Amino acid sequence: MLRRSPPPSVDALLARARSLVGHGLGEIALALGATIGDHTTHTKGKFGVLLEHALGAAGGSGAVHDFPELGVELKTIPVDARGKPAESTYVCTLHLLSAEALVWETSWVKQKLSRVLFISVDAEPADWRERVVRGVHYWEPDAEAWATLRADFEEAVGLVTTGRIEALNARLGQVLQVRPKAKDGKKTLLVPDAEGTLIATVPRGFYLRPAFTTEILQRYR
C-alpha cells in the first residue's frame, strides 16, 4: 500500500483530509493500491490504516502520535445516516498494572487528546467500498472540555489505585469512559483488590462517549 509523505503542517494535513470528503473507501483504496478483505468484521481497523496512508501518518501503533511532528492524533468515526457516531471512540489503553504512574498532566490520554483530527465515515452499507468519507473535524479541547476529561480520567484511575477495579464500568464518566478492550476481551490480568488480593480482570481502555463526539462533529467542521 502506498503511503504519502508526512504533511508539513496542520493546514497541509487538513487540506489533504478535506480532499477525501465525498470519496468512497473503495476509491481511496484503489488509488493507494490497498487490498482490504470483504468481511468488515475482521477488517475494521484497516479502514483507519487506509486513511493513515492517504494522509501520510507516520506514527504507527506505538505510544506516539499518528502525526508525530504535528502532535496530531487521527480518529476515524463511523457515523449513521444522520451523521451521528455509531459507537464509542477508542483513545488508548488504561494501564491497570501501572495506574499509580498515571498522572493526568503526563498521561497518554491527555497527550492523545491534545490535537485530534476526526474523520467521519459512513458506518453503512455492508460493502465497505461504498462507504463515503463524510467530514473532517479538527479539535483542540477548550478549558471546559479539559476539565471534564480530567475529572473522568482521575475518577477511573482512582478506582484502580484503591483496588476497586470491579467498580469501574462504562456507566462512569461524563465524556470519557472505560470499557473492556474488544480485541483483548478473552485475556485477563491479575490486579490487587481493596484487600490486596490478586484478582483476574480484563484489559480496559479509555473511550470517548458517542454523545461527546457528536458534539465535536457538530461544532468543529
Question: Does residue 183 surpass a pLDDT of 70?
Answer: no
Asked which of 40-44, 92-96, 212-216 is least confident by mean pLDDT, the reply is: 40-44
Q: How many domains does the chain contain in total?
A: 1
Specify if 24 maps to a domain: no
Model confidence pLDDT, tens digit, residues 63-75? 789 999 999 999 9
Specify if 25 maps to a domain: no
Share of the chain above pLDDT 70, in %: 91
Specify if 174 maps to a domain: yes
Specify if 191 maps to a domain: yes
Asked which of 51-65, 180-194, 195-209 is least confident by mean pLDDT, the reply is: 180-194
Determine the Cα–Cα distance for residues 221 and 211; give it in Å rounded to an integer.
17
Distances (CA, A) of 103 to 93, 155, 156, 192: 14, 12, 12, 19
Q: Is the pTM of this model over 0.85?
A: yes
CATH of the domain at 126: 3.40.600.10
Specify if 134 maps to a domain: yes
Name, of 42-46, 63-67, 112-116, the range with top average pLDDT: 112-116
User: To which residue does cell 508525530 refer?
Assistant: 68
The confidence score (pLDDT) of residue 5 equals: 92
The confidence score (pLDDT) of residue 185 equals: 57
Specify if 14 maps to a domain: no
Structural domain containing residue 149 = 68-219
Model confidence pLDDT, tens digit, residues 50-107? 999 999 998 766 678 999 999 999 999 999 999 999 999 999 989 877 765 688 998 9
Specify if 141 maps to a domain: yes
Specify if 207 maps to a domain: yes
Determine the Cα–Cα distance for residues 6 and 58; give it in Å rounded to an integer.
7
Asked if 60 contacts 46 with a C-beta cutoff of 8 angstroms, the reply is: no
Determine the Cα–Cα distance for residues 162 and 195; give it in Å rounded to an integer.
9
Q: How long is the chain?
A: 221
Distances (CA, A) of 146 to 10, 108, 188: 21, 14, 31
Confidence of residue 111 (pLDDT cuts 50, 70, 90): very high
Model confidence pLDDT, tens digit, residues 126-177? 888 899 999 999 999 999 999 999 999 999 999 988 889 889 999 999 999 9
